Chain A
């Protein structure tokens, strides 16, 4: 069964607008971490934001925020004021705790295109 699901293979957004990239996850482990990474065409993986399963508040890092809805098992990434340089592949990932064998699982990714 898919543990990380990113349902949007591709997304378009107008420059300076906000965009939400969807991510749902599945785990029975009470302790886990959720991550978002950006992979530009150059290939490197850039860490964007982290949310722990016990964190009470949604994580924010500059223009990035994570809309964490624990009961719905969703961890959507919101990018505000999109820039042309935001065009890239975005991956959602989950690292499970002891019950999940401490494995890290990545979603299939969403390719974001920012239009001028």
Chain B
């Protein structure tokens, strides 16, 4: 158990719908990352938040958005869903050392999204 929790574990929805995925980082971790893992695209970095602020942006579609709340949990919102959005969505968290080095990212169990 990495200490990162994600809900829900599975989500089945229809095209055109909107869903929200939730992530709670490990205790004390200020950074949260979102990833999408699909068979054709592999593991793609979407976005990172650090202490409530967007820190880095990857291949995140405009239909997707995320935020990190004051209690450090994060939500990934996916709207106007398409069949191709079906994937495993991971959240990860990490701590930044006082020297600013990049520590390892600990992954949650993932949310499997199926768009029908």
User: Chain B residues near A105 (CB, 8 Å)?
Assistant: 45
A108 to B41, CA, bound (A): 9
A32 to B100, CA, bound (A): 11
B79 part of interface (Cβ distance < 8 Å): no
A10-18, A19-27, A42-50, A67-75 - interface stretch: A42-50
B interface, over-half SS: strand
Cβ–Cβ contact A43 & B102, under 8 A: no
Q: Known contacts being A104-B33, A106-B43, is A47 close to B106, with CB within 8 Å? A: yes
Cβ–Cβ contact A33 & B110, under 8 A: no
Cβ–Cβ contact A43 & B107, under 8 A: no
Name the distance in Å between B24's Cβ and chain A's nearest Cβ: 16
A102 to B33, CA, bound (A): 11
Q: Known contacts being A35-B104, A50-B103, is A101 close to B56, with CB within 8 Å? A: yes
User: Chain A residues near B104 (CB, 8 Å)?
Assistant: 35, 47, 50
Query: What interface size band does chain B fall in?
Result: 20 to 34
Q: Known contacts being A44-B110, A52-B102, A95-B102, is A102 close to B55, with CB within 8 Å? A: yes
User: Chain A residues near B70 (CB, 8 Å)?
Assistant: none
Contact with B along A91-116 (1 / 0, CB 8 A): 10101010001111111110000000
A interface, over-half SS: strand
Cβ–Cβ contact B102 & A45, under 8 A: no
User: Chain B residues near A95 (CB, 8 Å)?
Assistant: 102, 105
User: Chain A residues near B48 (CB, 8 Å)?
Assistant: 102, 104
Interface residues of B in 46-98 (CB under 8 A from A): 48, 55-58, 88, 90, 92
Q: B45 contacts which of A37, A52, A103 (Cβ < 8 Å)?
A: A103
Contact residues of A with B, CB < 8 Å?
32-33, 35, 37, 43-47, 50, 52, 91, 93, 95, 97, 101-109
Given A37-B107, A43-B109, 15 other A-B residues pairs in contact with their CB atoms under 8 A: A33-B101, A45-B107, A47-B2, A47-B105, A47-B106, A91-B43, A95-B105, A97-B102, A102-B48, A103-B58, A104-B33, A104-B56, A104-B58, A106-B35, A107-B42
